Structure formats: C-alpha cells, structure tokens
Amino acid sequence: MKTRLIIVLSVLATVTVFIILGFNSTHQNNDEGENVITRCITPVGILNDKGEIQRSNSRWGNSYAGDEWFQDDIYNYFIDKSNHFIEAIYLEAELLGKGILLDSEDRVLQFFQMNFEDKLRGDITAFCNKSGNNDSIYEIVETVDNIETGTKASIIINEEGYLASAVFLLADYEAFEEMDLDLDKVITAQQAMTIVCEEIQENEVPEEGFMRVPEGKYDARLKTFKGVVFWEITFSSVIYDKSGTSFETQFICRVEATTGTVLEIARSL
C-alpha cells in the first residue's frame, strides 16, 4: 500500500504541475472519426521511487521494451533498465474503478510524458478510439519531422476514467537517427496502396477473379515499429471470383516506407 500511495501521489503531483503550466493542444477529427491530439511536449521526470524490483520480466522477450517489474496493490509496473515505466496492468478484479485517475486527454498525454521522462525529443500525437465497453483506447506516438520515432504507448482508460492497462514502447533513437529518414525519401500513400492492391490481386484473389475497392477509399498512416517505418493501409474491398460470386473483406496492410516491400497483408474474418 505504501508503494502504491507514493506512486499515485507522485503521479498526481506531476499532473498538478502540468495543470499549472497549461499546455496548448490542437484537436481535430481524422477521416476515421478518431479524436487526434497533437502538441509539443516537455519532458518531466516521474517514478523516482519505484519500490523494490521484484524480478526480471522475461514474459515478452525481444518484443518488449523493458525487463523488470514491480508491483503495488493495484498494478504491475514494468520498467526498463533506465527506470522508464513501460506498462501498468491491473492485478485484482475487485479494484476496478480505482487506481490512477486519467480522466481527461490532457492527463493521458501527461502520463505518456511522465513515463518517458527525458527520452522524448519530438512531438506527440494521440489517436483515441472507444471500445465496445466505452473504454478510451489511446495510441500515443512520438514523431520527429512527421515520422514516428517508434516511441509510443497504448493506454486504456475505463469508463470511469481510471487507468485499466498501459504499455509503453521506447524507440531505438540511435537507429532512428541513422536512418536519416525524411518524407522526401518515403513513397506516397497512393504508391503504397497501388503496391498492396497488385499484391492482393496476385496472391489473394481467386483465379480469374478480381478485387474492387469501393470509391477507391482507403486510410493510410505512416508508422514505425521495431525500427521499421511503413505505411499501414486499411481499406474495405469486394472480391469477385470467376463465377461472379462476391464477398466483402477488409484489409490491413503494411508496406515498407522506402522500398515498397509488402510486409503484411491481414484480412478480416
């Protein structure tokens, strides 16, 4: 309990600082109806008192940014070797509705900033969707010159405004800088879409069939994950076989941003 209180108070104290400072943010809705928040950030330290580290976290292997965790009465906290806070997950079912209060978009962004402390070097953009349970699911990414660095988080806030689960991924900034990537070196979203459609037509559509994308509509977002920069293209399609029978499928595809290599084609169930 003592550890929990310290952490919660630490969070609240830092949140208070942010409220006093007041940050300007811009809000807009993108084509998918997501609430998008973009702002410049100022790093702030947090979680200096993290309590006793329990044991090494080997659960996630290489896919995970951190390797140690500690816990209090409410959450498991996962941290990396630099004490950056990368995940908080609930321990107990009966504690729903308690824990870290993140009842506004600003507080969620502050939570992101606090966890990455002095690591951040770019701008932050947040994408928010609602689950069926009306949880707010924030995907928060850091960008430099409009390209994601790979530092990002997924933070889920329950309907009452309390943290339900969070995961934080820290970029390999050295590798990111070595890429020396700017938008001039990146293929366009339309080029990525064309590449994906050709790939699907060749490998996913029945022989003598074809695919139609209604109104040619698609969503595209330039993303970075595990050091790879790629276009994520999402669109609905109707696929016809040679008899004219059709079925609808949604695709989520990834295309490497400079070479145009198709990394993944995921189709809906």
Partner 1 sequence: MGYSTVRAELTTKDVLNSTLQSKKVVHVLTHGAAGVTSCSDGLLYATNIGSVPSLKFAFFETCHSALSPSGGKSTVKTIKDNGASASLGFQGTISASSSSNGCHYYVVCFYGNAMEGKTVYISAVNALNELYAYSGGYYGCNSYMVYGTSTTIN
- For the CB of residue 21, give the shortest distance to partner 1 in the complex, in Å: 29
User: For partner 1, which is the closer residue by CB, 175 or 266?
Assistant: 266
- For the CB of residue 28, give the shortest distance to partner 1 in the complex, in Å: 20
User: For partner 1, which is the closer residue by CB, 107 or 152?
Assistant: 152
Is residue 75 within 8 Å of residue 106, measured between CB atoms? Answer: no
User: For partner 1, which is the closer residue by CB, 18 or 57?
Assistant: 57
Amino acid of residue 129: N
Contacts of 267 (CB under 8 A, 6+ apart): 204, 249, 250, 251, 252
Contacts of 18 (CB under 8 A, 6+ apart): 44, 106, 110, 113
- For the CB of residue 149, give the shortest distance to partner 1 in the complex, in Å: 13
User: For partner 1, which is the closer residue by CB, 16 or 54?
Assistant: 54
User: For partner 1, which is the closer residue by CB, 18 or 111?
Assistant: 111
- For the CB of residue 172, give the shortest distance to partner 1 in the complex, in Å: 14
User: In the numeric block, which tokens belong to residue 183?
Assistant: 């938008």
- For the CB of residue 24, give the shortest distance to partner 1 in the complex, in Å: 28
Pairing of the two strands 228-240 and 219-225: antiparallel
What are the residues binding partner 1 (CB under 8 A)? 60, 63-65, 87, 89-90, 93-94, 96, 129, 131-133, 135, 137, 139, 152, 154, 156, 158, 164-167, 169, 223, 225-226, 232, 250-252, 264-269
In degrees and rounded to multiples of 5, residue 192 shows phi and psi of -65, -40
In degrees and rounded to multiples of 5, residue 160 shows phi and psi of -85, -5
Of 189, 175, 200, 194, give the one whose Cα is nearest residue 265: 200
Is residue 37 within 8 Å of residue 27, measured between CB atoms? Answer: yes
- For the CB of residue 258, give the shortest distance to partner 1 in the complex, in Å: 18
**What is the C-alpha to C-alpha distance for residues 125 and 142, in angstroms, rounded to an integer?**
6
The secondary element (H helix, E strand) that includes residue 198 is helix 189-203
Rg (CA), the chain: 21
User: For partner 1, which is the closer residue by CB, 154 or 194?
Assistant: 154
User: For partner 1, which is the closer residue by CB, 107 or 223?
Assistant: 223
- For the CB of residue 245, give the shortest distance to partner 1 in the complex, in Å: 15
Q: What is the dihedral of CA 4, 7, 9, 10, to 10 degrees?
A: 170
